[in-house]
Amino acid sequence: MNRHFLSLPEFDKIPILGWFIWVLLLLGCMLLMQFAGLWALSSILGIKFQQIQSQPELIQNARPEWVLLALFAGFIPIIAVGYLLWKPWSGLSIRALNTANRPFRYGVFFTALVLVLGLIGAADFLYVLGGGNIKWQGDWPAFLRFLPWALLLFPFQTLFEEWVFRGFLMRGMHQIIRSPLAALLASSLFFGLLHMGNSEVSEFGVGYMLVYYMAQALVMGALVLLFDGLELAWAYHLANNLYVSLLVTLPGSSLRTPALWISEPPEPLKMLLLSSSISLIVALSLILIFRATQLDRLWKTDSSTEQK
């Protein structure tokens, strides 16, 4: 039976507008949950909520795990409700939410997660050998308080983004334009635009960061198309977020964390080229290791593209 993540036969019965309504509902629920979380945090800190809205830097003095909970705890109920609503809405099994209606490969996901963490770590090691500046800043008590919450919440936060941009937006775009490559490019552009509010943008520049975020989205979207599921893209996304939050962070990061090291990045253009090269190497490594043999899935969804 022919299967493709973007074009299951059952998708023809789903109204095109429905895919975009899901995107809006997910993003709206995220904003509401984060609003509630920040309001609770402002009460704990004894700061007026209006002050946090106008001066978000005020929460940077709070314990990092409190900020993480305020911003990310809402992803847990959102993901849970998403699973509950998917089958009644789509008529498909739960597994079709994350894959081309096949079982989710947990072994592939966890193996890829470890591989990506290792490859990013190796790249930073080579960066230091080449004269890069990464300094130890470990605060073990703060790190150990933050660690369990990061391990709990980042999987939900990254799965949420995979649902929004690859699971719903890319599928919805494909229902309109019937081209995997065009759907990949369009969803990657939206991914980049919706990350323009991150504080890294003011640190490194709008143009550089838009290209950076789009490049990351292109990698994750390509992994979804090549392997007909979210396993590798989700693993890549989660590994990246865990790495920059727990191991090596950057100045001006949108989420201040007690990471063990801090990197002084090169000037923006060199940083963009370096990070893009690392992303490409990681993606190619995953493609080779997990044996993506049907590269035409990036541009074809017709009957000649079959699931193995």
> In this predicted model, what pLDDT tens digit does every residue of 37-61 receive, in sequence order?
999 998 888 888 777 766 767 777 7
Q: Residue type for 7, please?
A: S
Ordered by start, the domain boundaries in the chain are: 9-298
Q: Once rounded to an integer, what is the mean pLDDT over residues 15-23?
A: 96
For residues 199, 187, 32, 65, the Cα torsion angle rounded to the nearest 10 degrees is -50
For the cut 70, the answer to whether the pLDDT of residue 305 exceeds it is: no
Per-residue confidence band for 228, with pLDDT thresholds at 50, 70 and 90: very high
* pLDDT tens per residue across span 177-200: 999 999 999 999 999 999 998 878
Q: Which residue in this structure is represented by tokens 């999987």?
A: 155
Q: For all residues of the chain together, what is the average pLDDT?
A: 92
Q: How far apart are CA 29 and CA 14, in angstroms?
A: 22
pLDDT score for 150: 98
Residue whose token pair is 């498909």 = 92
Distance CA 183, CA 42 (A): 40
Q: How many helices (H) and strands (E) does the chain have?
A: 13, 3
Q: How crowded is residue 303: how many other Cβ atoms within 10 Å of its Cβ?
A: 8
In terms of DSSP bridges, do strands 133-136 and 261-264 run parallel, antiparallel, or are they unpaired? Answer: antiparallel
The pLDDT of 237-259, averaged and rounded, is 92
Q: What are phi and psi of 136, to 5 degrees?
A: -70, 135
